[in-house]
Structure 1
Amino acid sequence: MSTVNTPSAPFTELVDLASRLLGAGVVATNEDTFADAENLLVAKPAEFRPHTFGHKGQIMDGWESKRRRGVSADQPHPADDDHDWTIVRLGVAGVIRGLIVDTAHFTGNYPESASVEAAAIPGHPSPDELAAAEWVELLPRTPLRGDTAHAFEVRDETRYTHVRLNIFPDGGVARLRVHGEVLPDPRELDGLTFDLAAQEYGGVAEAASDRYFSSPHNLNAPGRASVMGEGWETRRRRDKANDWVQIALAGGGEVLAAEVDTTHFVANAPGWADLVGYDASRGGNPAEDRAGWFEVLPRTRLQPDTRHRFRLDVGRPVTHVRINVYPDGGLARLRLTGRLTEAGRAALALRWFNAVPAAEAAAALAEAGLSADEAAALTAARPLADPAAVTAAVAELRPADGPDGEHSSRRRSAVWRLLGV
């Protein structure tokens, strides 16, 4: 029987950036003779079926490389630095807060140790381009145990797009999870309406009244729920209160429509639901300021196993939404179609600008219209706390070819195009 640990680290409440549902994939590995590296990203926990042999041996639900050997009869053992590796493209770029390296069911064939590196490469790099990229160590080489889910906290504020798992000298790892905060490129959202609550754009189910049967994080997960267990379901209430989930949106936005989906919930759908919103951009705290919440959708009757669609006219920015269900029950998904406000877009852009590597930040500024020297100087001024700090940093820039004037106007225009400030 397996004795795999279940990590309870706080970061496991964050989105798994390496989820296949979000678009993650294995783009390269040096060795997976025994078991495919793609198994690292399988959503469900690893399974073990004893005495199930293929032509390469016991079939393992994970990534397993062949046994390494030394270079000669006199040196039969691998060198200390010999290792195998797999590169994973994150489904969405973001700031990594924690890692799970799970050796479930690998007992006599787990690696002695492992390390994890990360890189930020815009666009759609090839394996050769990834090999030549600058990699940053997130987890130094650390001993592993067999049949264990190892949880490692990460302290790094950089936005990354790829991770590389290194195992020393060889062996098997069942699953890799990369938990963090989604941080989209704001330029990709300009002019678009999208689901402001969706995980893939940075929406987070940050609080819930109940998660007895299933997680509130399912509410804003990608795609449609295929079974009831892929939604959010509460236990049966025996009091006169109600259940709820609070979602922080991708950014301050104008919410135009909502979809409240009870698909698969037949005998346990809520009877009614309403939506309330909060605008944290004015300085309040949604967890403490009860009076600051306002109506987004009045209490409305729900039907079982139904996708309910509502057009909304909120008339004010929203950064957080709480869905209240009465009295209890389950929802498959909550979708909130809308667009970022100018202030919401600017706040997202500043978070992104502060988090990307220096070379990427400078390149984006140059593309927007700054000279290379100006882009480098403004990048060096990071982190920039707010729009006022951006304005002050831009004012400090001086042209290399004479008086300011038109240069100041050009700089302001370039910075506005990128950061909305």
Structure 2
Amino acid sequence: MAKRTDLDLASRALGGSVRYASDEFFAPREALILPGESVHDTSTFGAHGKIYDGWETRRRRTPGHDWAVVQLGAPGVIHEIVVDTAWFLGNYPPEISVEAVWMDGSPDEETLQAADWTTIVPSSAARGNTKNTYRVHNHYAFTHVRLNIFPDGGVARLRVRGTAVPDPRVLGSRIDLAALQHGGDVAEISDMFYSDARLLLYPGVARSMAEGWETARRRTAGNDYVVVTLAGPSTLDYVDFDTHYFLGNAPGWVRLSARTDADAPWVEILPRSKISSDAHNRFRLDHVTDEITAVRVDVYPDGGFSRLHLFGELAPAALSEAIAHWLRLLPSSAYAAMLASYGIPFAAVKDLSAEQLLTLTW
């Protein structure tokens, strides 16, 4: 069984972006959200001095503090913040705080600075060369976070761990129902010796074999598999097993099964089929009429691939519930503004009709 863990909602691999920063004189802000661990080379120096694998501001000689604003790749409910100061010893910030806000789209710097930010980590001590971890006790969903460092210094990585909350306004069309940003996730896995099976559900294309799922070489009978839960009860049209970068270690064959709920038996929807390495392997699912909640991918006998895409449409009742769930998690000001923007009179979520909820889809 796979252990369900929080996502790094800010990760560049999920589409996160460091939108603005007060200063990045010594090292660029973009490094904050890179998915890998920070590395250190004692010999790297540039025109501005020592180059660190992280974000580093100059020594502040005026009042105030430095900050960086991150747009989350997957908006969601934040459970934990990690401010990793790896390799920063004489130049780390001794104190930090973190704020968050919900804002649609990609607002400019002036709009973000004027927003009504919520403090999710109050001013707290930080240590150098340490993964400084802070629990967040707030049940609302957010789209942006602002890391404040006092007064200046460097941070190697920022991790924003939590649960993704899919934007239901894009769920009303034909989408990838397995994608993490749409609510898909890995529920069970036979083996992930080399890499995390969740990488299968990340957006975009893999940049190397390291950004996919790969099992150990099987020396016993049987085969490997992964179970993926979908965004909600859905009808499926086709599947894409993307094996790019997997050359000598892609599976020889795949099989796809589905079920309508956790207690239902698995039903084959794609028989065992040969696939190619380093390619898109797409199959139509013409005879799937039931509302599917999860799929099981069997690979024969072992191996890996970079991405799994399952395209289809969310069932109307599931879409309505996804919209209601999303609205319940919006901060109160964002909730009121959202209803007003669609011309819906203000009311509690439980009092909104299914017709009103469904008007929020794009």
Fold in common (TM above 0.5):
yes
Kindly provide the amino acid, as one letter, of the partner of residue 299 in structure 1: R
- Considering only CA atoms, is the larger Rg found in Structure 1 or Structure 2? 1
Q: Deviations over 1:340-397 (max 9, x none)?
A: 11022112111101111122222333344433xxx1xx23xx5xxxxxxx3xx35xxx
Q: Which residue does 2:224 correspond to in 1? A: 243
> What is the deviation of 1:32?
2.0
Q: Deviations over 1:162-181 (max 9, x none)?
A: 00001122211011122222
Q: Which of 16, 22, 39 lines up with 2:14 in the alignment?
A: 22
Distance 1:188 1:38 in 2: 27
Contact 1:34 1:63 in 2 (8 A): yes
The question of 1:224 aligning with 2:209 is answered no
The question of 1:311 aligning with 2:293 is answered no
Q: How does 1:132-171 map to 2 (within 5 A)?
A: 132-171=114-153
Q: Which residue does 1:260 correspond to in 2? A: 241
Q: How does 1:318-357 map to 2 (within 5 A)?
A: 318-357=292-331
Contact 2:240 2:308 in 1 (8 A): yes
Q: Deviations over 1:105-149 (max 9, x none)?
A: 111111112111110012321111111111112222222221122
> What is the deviation of 1:65?
1.5
Q: Which residue does 1:203 correspond to in 2? A: 184
Kindly provide the amino acid, as one letter, of the partner of residue 60 in structure 2: R
Q: How does 1:290-309 map to 2 (within 5 A)?
A: 291-309=264-282
Contact 2:212 2:307 in 1 (8 A): yes
Distance 2:358 2:213 in 1: 40
From the superposition, tell whether residues 243 and 107 of structure 1 become closer, same or farther in structure 2 (CA, over 3 Å): same
Between 310-319 and 243-252, report the one with greater CA deviation.
243-252
> What is the deviation of 1:416?
4.8
Secondary structure of the corresponding residue to residue 134 of structure 1: coil
> What is the deviation of 1:104?
1.0
Contact 1:246 1:320 in 2 (8 A): yes
Kindly provide the amino acid, as one letter, of the partner of residue 40 in structure 2: F
Runs of 4+ that moved beyond 6 A: none
Contact 1:15 1:199 in 2 (8 A): no
Q: Which residue does 2:25 correspond to in 1? A: 33
From the superposition, tell whether residues 293 and 176 of structure 1 become closer, same or farther in structure 2 (CA, over 3 Å): same
Q: Which of 354, 359, 362 lines up with 1:417 in the alignment?
A: 359
Between 91-100 and 107-116, report the one with greater CA deviation.
91-100
Distance 2:142 2:58 in 1: 30
> What is the deviation of 1:273?
1.6
Q: Which residue does 1:5 correspond to in 2? A: none
Q: Which residue does 1:96 correspond to in 2? A: 78
> What is the deviation of 1:206?
3.2
Q: Which residue does 2:87 correspond to in 1? A: 105
Distance 1:125 1:134 in 2: 13
Between 225-234 and 144-153, report the one with greater CA deviation.
144-153
From the superposition, tell whether residues 346 and 63 of structure 1 become closer, same or farther in structure 2 (CA, over 3 Å): same
Q: Which residue does 1:363 correspond to in 2? A: 337
More helix by share: 1
Q: How many residues align?
A: 358
Q: Which of 114, 130, 137 lines up with 2:96 in the alignment?
A: 114
Distance 1:97 1:249 in 2: 22
Distance 2:106 2:32 in 1: 21
From the superposition, tell whether residues 234 and 193 of structure 1 become closer, same or farther in structure 2 (CA, over 3 Å): same
From the superposition, tell whether residues 154 and 298 of structure 1 become closer, same or farther in structure 2 (CA, over 3 Å): farther
Contact 1:251 1:347 in 2 (8 A): no
Distance 1:27 1:345 in 2: 31
From the superposition, tell whether residues 45 and 302 of structure 1 become closer, same or farther in structure 2 (CA, over 3 Å): same
Q: Deviations over 1:189-235 (max 9, x none)?
A: 32x21111112322222331111111101111122223222211111
The percent identity for this pair of structures is: 43
Distance 2:246 2:44 in 1: 37
More strand by share: 2
> What is the deviation of 1:150?
2.6
Contact 2:213 2:304 in 1 (8 A): yes
Contact 1:181 1:202 in 2 (8 A): no
Distance 2:249 2:30 in 1: 36
Secondary structure of the corresponding residue to residue 359 of structure 2: helix
Distance 2:355 2:210 in 1: 49
> What is the deviation of 1:94?
1.7
Structure 1: state its 5+ residue gaps: 1-9, 71-77, 281-285, 383-389, 395-410
Q: Deviations over 1:245-277 (max 9, x none)?
A: 222222322111001122232322222221222
From the superposition, tell whether residues 138 and 296 of structure 1 become closer, same or farther in structure 2 (CA, over 3 Å): farther
Q: Which residue does 1:405 correspond to in 2? A: none
When the two chains are superposed, the root-mean-square deviation of aligned CA atoms in Å is 2.2
Q: Which residue does 2:158 correspond to in 1? A: 176
Distance 1:221 1:212 in 2: 19
Contact 1:24 1:91 in 2 (8 A): yes
Contact 1:365 1:414 in 2 (8 A): no
Which of the pair has the greater relative contact order for Cα pairs under 8 Å at 6+ separation? Answer: 2
